Chain A
Amino acid sequence: MAEMIRLETALTSTRKFGPRRFGGDQILKGLVGAAAVFVVLLLVALGIELTEGSSLSLTTFGPGFLTGTTWDPVHEVFGALPYIYGTLLTSALALLIGLPIGLGVAVFLSEKVRGNRLFGYTLGTLVELLAAVPSVIYGLWGLFFLVPVLKTYVETPLHAYLGFIPLFASVPFGLDFFTAGVILAIMIIPTVSAVSRDILNAVPNSQREAMYSLGATHWEVIRKSVLPYARSGIFGATILGLGRAVGETMAVTFVIGNTPRITASLFSGGYTLSAVIANEFAEASYPLYTSALIEIGLILFGLALIINLFARLLIWRMTRTTRFRV
């Protein structure tokens, strides 16, 4: 009897760990597999739908749509270049402002107050809370608070003293590329800092200890050991932030001035791809107009794709070179 039980136990344990089991694992595999396939199908369907919806505009304007600078719904002339320019410029500004701050927060949380529950935990939670604020709130806050403040205390002095530089040449109005960049920077800080912090936390302590043992200061440890080690991860965090900046709609449309214009001046009104879709889609009254707006969506889709591919390529190159160096 006792032997029989032992045999049974042995059999079960074989079934438990053996490779050929039918049951929960198979179902689980099927379910998660279906989820993965579903996402791919969704992406394909999105691409097909966008291409199909914009076919009228694609055939009417051809590649000229990408370089056209006029957007005139009354005379049925559509060109996307000012929107592409606006999207790229505001995203770049957002990274320029948001990345150092986000990274600074991450370094502070990970290297300076790690393990400090009261301070580190509270600050970390607050930063993550920023990510939970709906973008329309950022937009309204931007319009009613940030625009007047930036205009009076940042843009006007910059224009007065550095107005000879084309970047600050036009008279500040508040609703412009610069404000949109600042709003986007605020919005990507939580993404960049939260992801970077986790990555910095994952840097093995041996890296730091090795540097300290050589007599390095805290700053040198961070700069020469921690940050280079976490380089590709931080880059990934940046791309996540950039993705948010490129696609952000509501917050931007409130503060960017919604003027399809290409100028070097940051203090001039602009427009972004997503903002024009949000603004004009509801009232687009004839097929070519709708089609042109869908093509704007297609461009945005393509832009996101290119950014991601580019990022992957960079990360791949970076990890390949670092492997031999570290």
Chain B
Amino acid sequence: MQTSKKAVSGTTIGLVVVVVIVLAGFGAYVAFYSPGQTTVTASITSVSTATSVTSVTSVSTATSVSSITSVSTATSVTSVTSVTTATSTYLPGATVNGAGGTLVFPLMSSWIFGFTQVQPNIQVNYSPVGSGAGIAQITAGTVNFGESDAPLKTTQYAALPANSTLLTIPVSGSGVVPAYNIPGISSTTHLNFTGDLLARIFLGSITMWNNATLTPNGVSLVSLNPGATLPANPITVVHRSDGSGTMYAFTQYLSDSNSLWRTKVGYATSVNWPVGVGCKGNAGVAGCIANTQYSIGPLEIAYQIQNPGAINYGSVQNHAGHFVLANLTNINLAVQAGASAGLPAGNAQWSSFSIINNIYNDSMDTQIYPITTFTYALVYQSLSASYAGTSQAQAVGLVNFLWWVVNSGQNAGKSIGYPALPANVVTLDDTTLNSITYNGTPILGS
């Protein structure tokens, strides 16, 4: 009797077991998962940077400890040769979420890593969902900070919550180079381009590499490059297929340089390209150029710096008339020049501001690289407001993170192809960050 009863309800028992297992698993996950918890280091042999050591039971030899920020309990430490700094200024634990452009993602990852070395209790998450989506998310208050390669448009400002002030904080710059693949041109030769010629190539009105027809400005590909033997082959235009800040900068530069481009195509993260093929991502553009002889395409400088010599690229004429080959120094100088022409205040609307236009119109500096752009962090000025969706601990973590990014993190980008912000931009950013409040009290002032 009993056995048959069991057989009857076998399915039920099976289902109950499955449900119990699922619930137990979920319970265990909730019970044991607690983000941002500090790790316990049992024994340390050599530590360059130990961000957080809760309890050390026994360390036999630690030859070199550069910086330990906080050690709660250390039962037995036999010998520590040198401890440079030992401070205990940890911020309260918080998880800060951000979302936005993809251009800045490698740099952001490096910043987040660097910041957690200093503030281990603050966990920063960044989703490279794209600038448009980043703006949408900060508007909806679903992230603590947004990030965008282009400043907000007036319509986007209008969509922000009522009585809110969204701060615009330039956090890094980037340059765009005209990369090309022309067999027969050595990698030590860098072709010269003007913005107008680039626009004509990307409009499809210049179609051959050996084009010698002078433009109204009195130049041609051949006249600009007397030292190079340009082949009689058609130019294949390559561009990004996905919307990107790199294309925003490049198309805005073309708009500044050529009136037909400005009226026919314009500038945006995605435009209606008159000619050419689209390739996905920076690496995709690089791949398309490398695979296609006689092609040209705009490539982010970060790619060139991380893959030196992979693809040849040209010099671009700046407004002073000099042909400049992009590097981090002249991009930094360009940002500085663009910023000294006047930046809006952090709490102002940046819609009409364009660093490219500023650089383009700056005729003074002979060294600056013209196709240079900003990328911006977007934060609400009053973080305690309900639309900001930010707790006090998150607000403190966020503002400290951005402060660290602007003031200490700028060198992190150099090895991966991002120029450091010039001093005049850092000063503006610091003023902006100081103005961020929680319940009316400045976060950094306290």
The residues of A with any CB-CB pair to B shorter than 8 Å are 8-9, 12, 15-16, 21, 23-25, 27-28, 31, 70-75, 139, 143-144, 147-148, 171, 173-175, 253-254, 257-260, 269, 271, 275, 278-286, 289-290
Contacts and interface: CB of A to CB of B under 8 A. Distances in A.
Given A144-B287, A147-B291, A74 B272 contact: yes
B132 A75 contact: no
Nearest to B16: A27
B4 A12 contact: yes
B288 interface: yes
Given A279-B280, A285-B131, A23 B11 contact: yes
B248 to A, nearest CB: 8
Contacts of B273: 259
B272 A15 contact: no
Contacts of B132: 282-285, 289-290
B8 A16 contact: yes
The 9 A-B pairs of least Cβ separation, nearest first, read: A282-B130, A283-B243, A24-B11, A258-B278, A258-B241, A74-B266, A257-B277, A72-B272, A283-B269
Interface residues of B, number: 47
Interface in B1-20: 1, 4-5, 7-12, 14-15
A9 B5 CA distance: 11
Contacts of A27: 11-12, 15
A259 B276 contact: yes
A286 B155 CA distance: 8
B243 A280 contact: yes
Interface of B: 1, 4-5, 7-12, 14-15, 102, 129-133, 135, 150, 153, 155-156, 234, 236, 241-244, 265-273, 276-280, 284, 287-288, 291-292
Contacts of B153: 285-286
B278 A285 contact: no
Contact of A8 (B1, B268, B271): B1
Contact of A15 (B8, B10, B130): B8
26 contacts: A12-B8, A24-B10, A24-B12, A27-B15, A71-B272, A72-B272, A73-B272, A74-B267, A74-B268, A143-B287, A143-B291, A144-B291, A148-B291, A173-B236, A173-B277, A174-B291, A175-B279, A275-B241, A279-B241, A282-B130, A283-B244, A284-B132, A284-B133, A284-B270, A285-B135, A290-B132
Nearest to A269: B277
A260 to B, nearest CB: 8
Given A31-B15, A74-B265, A254-B284, A280 B270 contact: yes
B278 A286 contact: no
B70 to A, nearest CB: 39
A258 B279 contact: yes
Contacts, number: 133
A191 to B, nearest CB: 24
A73 B271 contact: yes
Nearest to B1: A8
A287 to B, nearest CB: 8
For A8, A21, A258, A269, the residue with the greatest tally of chain B CB atoms inside 10 Å of its CB is A258
A73 B270 contact: yes
The residue among A21, A74, A259, A260 with the most chain B CB atoms within 10 A of its own CB is A74
A290 to B, nearest CB: 8
A66 to B, nearest CB: 18
A23 B130 contact: no
Nearest to A25: B11
Nearest to B241: A258
A12 B270 contact: no
Contacts of B284: 143, 254
Contacts of B4: 9, 12, 16
Given A27-B12, A71-B272, A285-B153, A257 B278 contact: yes
B280 A254 contact: yes
Nearest to B130: A282
A253 B243 CA distance: 13
Contacts of B272: 70-75, 260
B356 to A, nearest CB: 15
A56 to B, nearest CB: 13
Given A12-B4, A24-B10, A173 B268 contact: no
Given A23-B11, A285-B132, 8 more contacts: A24-B10, A24-B11, A27-B11, A72-B271, A75-B266, A175-B288, A259-B277, A282-B130
B242 A283 contact: yes
Nearest to B273: A259
Contacts of A72: 271-272
A171 B234 CA distance: 10
Nearest to B150: A285
B335 to A, nearest CB: 22
A143 B279 CA distance: 9
**B8, B265, B280 — which one has the most chain A CB atoms within 10 A of its CB?**
B280
A24 B288 CA distance: 59
Contacts of B280: 139, 253-254, 258, 279
Contacts of A257: 277-279
A229 to B, nearest CB: 38
A73 B248 CA distance: 12
B11 A28 contact: yes
Given A23-B12, A254-B284, A286 B291 contact: no
A35 to B, nearest CB: 13
Contacts of A12: 1, 4-5, 8
A171 B11 CA distance: 65
A74 B269 CA distance: 9
A285 B135 CA distance: 8
A31 B10 CA distance: 15
B283 to A, nearest CB: 9
B10 to A, nearest CB: 6
A27 B272 CA distance: 56
Contact of B269 (A8, A271, A285): A285
